[in-house]
Structure formats: C-alpha cells, structure tokens
Chain A
Amino acid sequence: MKKLLFLLLSLVLLLSACNSSDTTTATATKLENVPESVQGGIKIAIIRNLPADDHTKQFLDGARQEGEAFGFKVDTMIAENNDAKFQELVAQAIQQDYDGLIISHGKADYSYDMIQPAIDKGMKVVTFDTVAEKDGKKLEGVTETFQDDHKLAELSLDEIAALGDKPKVIKVWFGPGVPPLDSRQEIYKQYEEEGKFETLETVGPTNMQDVQGDVATKMNAILAKYPEGTVDAVWGSWDEMAKGAYKAMKDNKRDDIKMVSIDVSNQDINLMREEGSNWIATAAVDPFLIGQMNMRLLAKKLAGDETPESYNLEARLIKQSDLKEDTTMFNLDQIIEGWGVSDDHNEPWMDELRKEFKK
C-alpha cells in the first residue's frame, strides 16, 4: 500500500518536474532590432469569463499561439461566467509576476476596480469585450477591444427579417448578465419594436455545463408545441446554444424552420454544410484573430509602442451557400474576404521574433 502511494506521489512529482523544465527556455542572446522589453521570459496571463466553448478555445488558441510565436510564456484561465471566480483569478494573476494581462468578458460592475491594481503594479493590460469604466472614467493605458456585437446582431437579424413579411421567430438567448449577449439583445429588441419580426418563444439553458444538450432538450419541447408551418426562423444569439437548437430541429425533422446564428466554429461550419441543413447563416468575427490581435496589442504595449485606446474587430456574415466542401475555420478566408488574416498592429520586430522562435 505505502509503496503504491509512494509510486503515485513520485510519478506526480516527476510529471510536474518535466512540465516545469520545458517551460524555462529563456533566450540567451538578445535580438538587435527588437525592443529589449519584449525579450527574455515575458509572461502573459489570459483570463476569460465565459463558459468554455469553441469560441473560447479559438480565442485562447489565437492569443496563445501568437504569444508563443513571440517567445512569451502564456497561461490561460477561464472562469465559466462565474464572476466571483473570475475576479479571484484576475487578482491572483496580478499577485504573480506576469508582465501583461488579457482580460476577456469582465462585467461593467467590477472591471474597473478589478484591473486597477494591475495598472498600479505596472502591468500592461488589453481587454476584450470588457467594459472597464467607472463614473465615466476609463483606465489609463488599457486598450479595449470589442467584437462588434451590435453589428453581429444586425447582420444575423437582417437575414431573418429578409425571410418574409414579419417572420415568426423562436429566440434562443440567455441573460441578462453576459455583455456580448446583452448587446445583441439590444438590437433584437430594437428590430422587434420596429416590427421586423415577431417573437414566439424564448429558450435558454439552465445547465451551463452542457449548454448544447440542455438547449436541445428545451427546444424539443417547444417544437412539439408549434406544429409545422407555424415558425419561420430560429435566432441563435450564441452558436453554442444554436447548435442545441439545430440538433433538436434535425431530430424532429423540422427543416421548415430556418436558423441564423452568431459566432462560428468548426462544428458550426460542419453542421451548416450537412445535407438538408436549415442553418442558413451565421454572423461572426474570427475568434482566433481576436486572440491574435489582443496579443499583438499587448506586445506593443510591452515594447512601449503607441497603442489605440480601443480597437474594433469587424463582423462578417457567413452564409451556408458560400461554404465549400472543404471549408474549415482555417480557410474561411478563401470564401469570406478579409477573414482570419489581418496585418493590423503588426510590427517589423514581431516578424523578427517570429523568425527567432520558429527554430
């Protein structure tokens, strides 16, 4: 018994030892054309306050890969829309010796106070979809990035409004309290008041761990209530929920209903491309690119370069009819102009770093 325990313990220790040994690769020589302040053991923390989904993963991957390409050590944390846990994580990160933070989806109520200590400590901060404002004052030196949620909502809802004369809509939405979804809701409300469509039901998840499955269950019940021909469209305000709704419609063979959503992932693309799929369009900003942009902005801050106070990432509409056989998240740029690649905020010294760390 004791032997086994010992074995287990030593295994754990060994594993952790291995882990730490390969992260401590510091650059020995300094590069000439690169600002010194971004060289040698830069540590970045990315903290995101959204339930884990494909969007989250792509955002984190984008930021991490860009950061690692610069030779930074990047740690990622997610708080799953638990504000208390989120603030804790951020506070912890500030305690540690990170050089920069990327804060994603902090809420207006606390973000200013939460980030303040990091600024005081001299950390560089870039935020995404986070409102860090207090009494109309913004935090100095923080760059805010947003994906244009109003625009995303407009793009998707225009598609729905175009389906006919005042189409009947099942709204798949969750909130209030999640900033991007709240922004999307504002547009939805506006359109609804303008009489562009009519809402039949609102569906949302109660099991935040299996959003997809949970929404599918609820959508099943709703679909049973509305026989064929009584619903025109489903608006999926977040693709994770849209996937569940899609699943339910497919299981019930309800291709009489069209679905338009917001956000995109590989799985979404696969589902849109399925034979007889009723998922006709989704509006999105490339989450991978968002991650990259956030990291570039943070690198520029570390280098002491000029950075804007805010930066908006442009929304695009991906239509079912545009998708090709082999389309994935990584070649969407072939069918959507300007998708996924951007030279914004790219500096010559970043290329130097990329070259150096490619070895």
Chain B
Amino acid sequence: MEQRALKIDNPIKKESPWQKPLNFINNWGTVIAIVVLIVFFAVAVPQFMTGSNIVNIMRSISIVTIIAIGLTVSLTVNGFDLSIGSTATLANSLVVSFFVWYSLPTGISIALALILALSVALFNAFLIVKIKIPDLFATLATMFIVEGVAMTYTGGGSISVGMPRLDGTPTNGTIPSAFALISQTPYIIILMLIVVGSVYFFLKHTKHGRYLYMIGGNIEASRLSGIPVNRYRTLAYVISALLAALGGVVLASQIGSAQINAGGGYLMPAVAAAFIGSSFAGQGKPNAIGTLVGATLIGILENGLVMMSVPYYSLNIIKGAVLALALASTYYTRRKN
C-alpha cells in the first residue's frame, strides 16, 4: 500500500519502448482491425467500397446491433442476459400473431409486443435480484422458458400470412406495408443509430448510466453508497429485454413471418459484438458505441468474405479467428496492467 503511494509521487516509471504502441493497439484494436479489413476487401473486391454495399453492411448489422446494445446494458451491471435471443423470438412471434391472427393495427401490435416482452425482464429480475440466482444461470433458464413459450404460443413456432392456426381456424390478417417498411433502408439503419445514440447518451451522460456502471464495478460499495442497487439491476434487464424485443420486431418486419427460434441465432453475434465493443477506445467497459463498432467489424467481415466467394461453410473459421485477434489485442496488454 505504502509503496504504491510512493510510486505515484514519483512518476518516473520505467516504461518499455513497446509500451506506447502496445497501448495504442490495446485501445484502438477493433478500429485498426476494421480499417485493415476495409482496405483488404476494397483491394480484393472492387465492388466492396460501393455506396450500396456499405448500406448493405449497415442494414445487415442493424438487428444484431439493436439486440447487442440491450445486452451491453445488462453487461454494465456485470450481468449477462442470455435470454435476449429468445426474447427477440417471442416479440417476433407476438407481433406477427397480432397482425395475422387478430388484424391489429401496426402501432398497437408493436407496442403490445414490446410490453409483453417486458415480462421476460421482470422474470429475470425476479430470479436474479430476489432469488439471487447468478445472472448467467438465471437467464439461461429464462432463455429456454421463453423459447418454449414462443413456440407454444404460436403452436409450433411459425406463423405466416394466410396460414391457419393450429386448431385449423383460418386467419385473414395481413402484415401491413407500413410495418414491412421498418426493415427497409434507410429506416432500419436510422432506427439502429437512434438506439445506439440514445443508449450511449443514457449510459454516458445520465445519473442512471453512472449508477449502472458503478454497480457493475462494485455492487457492495455501490449499495453502501446508497444506490438502489436492485432497482437498477432490474432496470438493466428491462432495457435489455426491451431492445431484444425491438430487434425481434424488426426481424419480423424483415422476414414477414414468425419462425421457430428465429431470434436465437442473434444471441452469439450480439455477445461477440458487445465483448469486442468493451475494448473500444480502451474503455474496458461495455459501451454502446463500442458495441456498434463490434457489430460493424463482424458485418464487414461477413460481407467481404462472402464477396470473395469464401465458401459459407468456412466463413465461421475466419470470423472466429478475427474476433480472437481483435480481443487478443485488448486483453494481452490489459493482463500486464
């Protein structure tokens, strides 16, 4: 303890000549990776840098990003919401069923789907805050439950226009064209940017965001500083579920139907995006802009590799390897500090 104090009074610390460049890579590893990839793909495939392809990439990452931003919020309180994929599936099923089964108007359907998805958050918060099950296990359980609820509700998982219900009741609702518009460019990209922007602001510039990070840093000290810890942890899962549900609604708009566990496939990419994002700009904390950057990295990689005609079955190898590299650049130096 005393030694440490001395060190600070005496700033002449021995720094290896590598320290500076290493720190730079540490802080900006993901951005460097993105720049390198862009240059590489632009050279390899001339069509990569066209405006329409860039719009393509942005659109392709929109849903993952929206869901990953929700996960980011749960990560700020040092939690982990595994149930986001299922929640997206649930919202997808709900919103399509409101259209196809009940012919509800667009606004009401979306609002209802989002509100109902909040019950997932409350269930998570109940398990984690009240029963005190560790986050990962609690949300794992929720993940299965919600997946099952979505499938049971839809009677097997899929709903599409004109498809009769499980008991044979014919349906006559359609998906409104206004709803389909959500997943079109530029709206889907604008929506994503709004989500990223507002969560960024919320986390970085409001009292609530500050509290969330504090709780993530040290829950005991936060509690003893008078922060209503349980309320904020609940809030984190509410935001997480809400954004996952929003992702599910956009997914519904994109595929125009409800598919079995359609949202499940977004869990892992969202986790990857949020984790890569944590290292963005040397923050070392989950943050919204970083998550967007992480999702962009994955999106660029996927788009570029497909363009280079890398067979789809090999895609994941390269994807995983680049992710490992991006993460290594962060964690390798952090361990020394």
Contact = CB atoms under 8 A, between A and B. Distances in A.
A–B interface present (Cβ within 8 A): yes
Given A210-B266, A217-B60, A220-B56, A247 B255 contact: yes
Q: Can you list the 9 inter-chain pairs with the closest CB atoms, starting with the nearest?
A: A209-B265, A52-B260, A224-B53, A267-B160, A221-B306, A207-B265, A204-B312, A328-B162, A266-B162
A65 interface: yes
Contacts of A265: 160, 163
B95 interface: no
A208 B316 CA distance: 13
Most buried by A among B48, B50, B162: B162
B307 A266 contact: no
Nearest to A326: B162
B59 A251 contact: yes
Nearest to A243: B255
A174 B312 CA distance: 9
A221 B160 contact: no
B261 A209 contact: yes
Contacts of A1: 130-131
A224 B48 contact: yes
Interface of B: 45, 47-48, 50, 52-53, 56, 59-60, 63, 85, 126, 130-131, 156-158, 160-164, 166, 168, 170, 184-185, 251, 254-257, 259-266, 269, 302-304, 306-307, 309, 311-313, 315-316
Interface in A187-222: 201-210, 212-214, 216-218, 220-222
Given A52-B261, A220-B56, A203 B312 contact: yes
A213 B63 contact: yes
A212 B52 CA distance: 21
Contact of B56 (A60, A224, A330): A224
Contacts of A203: 306, 312
- Give the interface size bracket for A toward B: 35 or more
A320 B251 CA distance: 26
A320 B303 CA distance: 31
Contacts of A223: 56
A11 to B, nearest CB: 13
B162 A329 contact: yes
9 contacts: A51-B260, A52-B260, A201-B309, A206-B316, A217-B303, A220-B53, A220-B59, A220-B60, A329-B162
Given A204-B312, A213-B63, 6 more contacts: A209-B265, A212-B262, A217-B303, A224-B307, A265-B160, A266-B161
Nearest to A51: B260
Most buried by B among A4, A224, A225, A247: A224
Interface in A1-22: 1, 4
Contacts of B130: 1
A269 B126 CA distance: 44
B289 to A, nearest CB: 23
Contact of A218 (B53, B257, B302): B302
Contacts of B52: 224, 252
A227 interface: yes
A209 B268 CA distance: 11
A222 B56 CA distance: 11
B265 A208 contact: yes
Contacts of A216: 60, 254
Contacts of B185: 251
Contact of A213 (B156, B158, B255, B313): B255
A226 B53 CA distance: 11
A152 B56 CA distance: 33
